[in-house]
Amino acid sequence: MVRNSLRFVAWKDDKAVTRDLKTVYQAPTKEAALQALEVFSETWEHRYPQISRSWQANGNNLSTFFEYPTEIRKVIYTTNAIESLNSVIRHAIKKRKVFPTDDSVKKVIWLAIQATSKKWTMPLQDWRMAMSRFIIEFGDRLDGHY
């Protein structure tokens, strides 16, 4: 949502707007985030009203984000890894225009993911803390995956 918001921002205001939006999505609670959004709106409403409106319109999505503990939020607030993986899958599928069976598509996707996962050497920041919170929150769903 931050990246989408920054499409409307002049380059000279980019750092300041990013800093102020950061206080919203890194707030410790939903209430603190809404308060930070109010402060953001007061500061930037006159120059970029569409950003405030967009964040307020997506308040339900934002409130869902704050239902998770801080350790998990740090891991999920960015979609870079997901976008990267989707790009790899799209690239692998575009190379082969026709697939004889559904199973062959699954195999190509699996091979693309396997090849890409070998390149992922940079660990996520505070991954151990996040993983322990994932186990606490969703232990029954994670059996055999950690």
pLDDT tens track for 91-139: 999 988 889 999 999 999 999 999 988 887 777 777 788 888 888 888 7
Could you tell me if 46 and 13 are in contact, meaning their C-beta atoms sit under 8 angstroms apart?
A: no
Of 66, 34, 65, residue with least CA distance to 52: 34
The span from the CA of 89 to the CA of 82, in Å, is 11
What HEC string does 68-120 produce?
CCHHHHHHHCCCHHHHHHHHHHHHHHHHCCCCCCHHHHHHHHHHHHHHHHCCC
Residue 145 is predicted with a pLDDT of 64
- What is the domain partition of the chain in residue ranges? 2-67, 80-141
The span from the CA of 24 to the CA of 28, in Å, is 9
| Total-model pTM | 0.63
